[in-house]
Structure 1
Amino acid sequence: MNKLEFENYQETSKSYDTTRVSIGKEILLGCFASTPRPLSQQIVLDGGCGTGNYIEALNGKVATIYGLEFNQGMLMQCQQKFQAYPNIHLTQGNLLNLPYENNYFDGMMCNQVMNHLVPEENHSDKFIQLHQMMKEAYRVLHPQGVLVLNTCSHKQLFDGFWWADLIPEAMNRVAKRYPTLETLTSMLKEVGFHLGGKIVPVDAVLQGNNYLDQEGPLNKAYRDGDSTWSLATTEELETALERVIKMNADGSIKQYLESRENLRRHIGQTTFIYAYT
């Protein structure tokens, strides 16, 4: 694994499509549509495309989609899905050195990958890879092209996921890998982008219909749907699972879920930030 790739995606890629869904399709299309060229003619890059959930969501809406993925397991799943589509081009590669020409894309999206470019440790060059990714995005985008980042605010990390309260130490660890929204917007401006805005899809959840499964955390496939679980120690995971078992047994899980969901309904799980070259 890459030292910043804190989950074994080679393994979790096998069940990723059953535990993770694309969200904000209309937001992405709206951002891309705000650039000069019509959607039907656009060339778009999905940076860190994973198994291709977002490619699948946008296929047929834009002319051509390029997907770049570092992890071989994720990429193989993606290639199997789209081998019959000549308008989809998939490559194994690194966001820090995009294998594309200058001014090539109308739009670029990065969905939930910012945390894989930032180490947990605090030091002076903590965000150097994130800064390099933004520079590369600026390079490959057309003038007036758009970069869309789908990320989580720290508030969303802790209160936007009902199970986050079960593994607080792991949440603290993953939060250190998420730049604040203020940091992201500041870095975009520093690179040369012009900030377009921020959008929060309050009702959308990353794990789709499986998200509110009362026994979900007891299943590894469910936990594989979010890399935060991989940061929990064995002891922390055992404590969390024991708590889920107990709440399901005594019937308190419904009230617990509702109290946690009341928090999410006000803040959502994710934030889209978009900026123009």
Structure 2
Amino acid sequence: MIKEYENYQNTSKSYDTTRIPIGIEILLGCFATNPRPLLEQVILDGGCGTGNYIQALKSKVNSLWGLEFNRGMLAQATEKFHNHPNIHLAQGSLTDLPYENDTFDGIMCNQVLHHLGSENAAGENFPELNQAFEQAYRVLRPQGVFVCNTSSHQQVYDGFWWADLIPDAVSRIAKRFPPITCITERLDQAGFSFGGIVVPIHAVMQGDNYLDPEGPLKQTYRNGDSTWSLATQAELEQALERVQNMNKDGSIVQYLDHRESLRQKFGQTSFVYAYKKQS
């Protein structure tokens, strides 16, 4: 099941001000490889959050179904889409999808895999990953497409400029992210045919707010990434003091340039896609 380590009941209220949907063109490109035309497709957003990916795709496909574990996030999405008859939302987990076999043409799962399991998920060899992929395979129609947007360990460390400020918290969350090789292996074990991996180098999940040099000093900014919630009080205080000092003496400019050079090399996210074999 999903083990929450951030208070999404609270952060859901400001989530849309700190996160944007990225890789929409990648998702549509993957879904478009299905024999069924995009405008006829039924798509599931597994772990839909407040529905920002649903918002971006709602005019591109026939209907969208969103599944979200956290009731606070789900409430925000429900409010957003209550007048949209082609959008269907439900509470539930990726490891036990409440849908019939062969229901969807495509499934997207955006920045959710690291919320499966506990902080010892790596030590347990990510058992929830198997359950989630088996469930995805079950509810997809033959030739359906599964796309998961996640971050490699390199991206976790170097794709976010502020990660260097809270290295211990980043190390904790990195353990929750299944390695890309693990994801591709488990997809194969679940029966999928591997499609490929796409890395949108220039896309940042935080949008225009990402390079705010004073961003980490603001609670709403930190709420945009669950890594901050894993920082101890001492680590957080040390990080904020460092940001304040760099802003004060002007060294923040050089610091951001250095960190940005790494992000532009590795990106923040990786889209892994695979197909359900034709029966």
Q: Alpha carbons of 1:43 and 1:123: their partners in 2 closer, same or farther (altered >3 Å)? A: closer
Match of 1:238 in 2: 237
Percent of aligned positions that are identical: 62
The secondary structure found in structure 2 opposite 1:221 is helix
The secondary structure found in structure 2 opposite 1:198 is strand
**1:10 Cα offset (Å):** 0.7
- Contact 2:105–2:141 (CA under 8 A) maintained in structure 1: yes
Q: Which runs of 5+ in 1 are unaligned?
A: none
Match of 2:156 in 1: 157
- Contact 2:122–2:176 (CA under 8 A) maintained in structure 1: no
Deviations 1:165-207 (A, max 9, x none): 0000000000000010000000000110000000000000010
Match of 1:36 in 2: 35
- Contact 2:42–2:106 (CA under 8 A) maintained in structure 1: yes
CA RMSD of aligned residues (A): 1.1
CA distance in 1, matches of 2:87, 2:249: 50
**Matched letter for residue 163 of structure 2:** A
CA distance in 1, matches of 2:120, 2:40: 43
Match of 2:207 in 1: 208
CA distance in 2, matches of 1:97, 1:174: 24
- Contact 2:2–2:93 (CA under 8 A) maintained in structure 1: no
**Matched letter for residue 109 of structure 2:** C
- Contact 2:122–2:178 (CA under 8 A) maintained in structure 1: no
**1:124 Cα offset (Å):** 5.9
Match of 1:223 in 2: 222
Q: Which runs of 5+ in 2 are unaligned?
A: none
Alignment: residue pair count: 276
Q: How does 1:132-211 map to 2 (within 5 A)?
A: 132-211=131-210
Runs of 4+ in 1 over 4 A off after TM superposition: none
TM-score calculated relative to the size of structure 2: 0.97
The secondary structure found in structure 2 opposite 1:120 is coil
**Matched letter for residue 225 of structure 2:** D
**1:119 Cα offset (Å):** 2.1
The secondary structure found in structure 2 opposite 1:269 is coil
Deviations 1:244-271 (A, max 9, x none): 0000000000100000000000111000
TM-score calculated relative to the size of structure 1: 0.98
CA distance in 2, matches of 1:109, 1:240: 34
Q: How does 1:71-150 map to 2 (within 5 A)?
A: 71-121=70-120, 125-150=124-149
**1:89 Cα offset (Å):** 0.3
CA distance in 2, matches of 1:206, 1:267: 14
**Matched letter for residue 70 of structure 1:** F
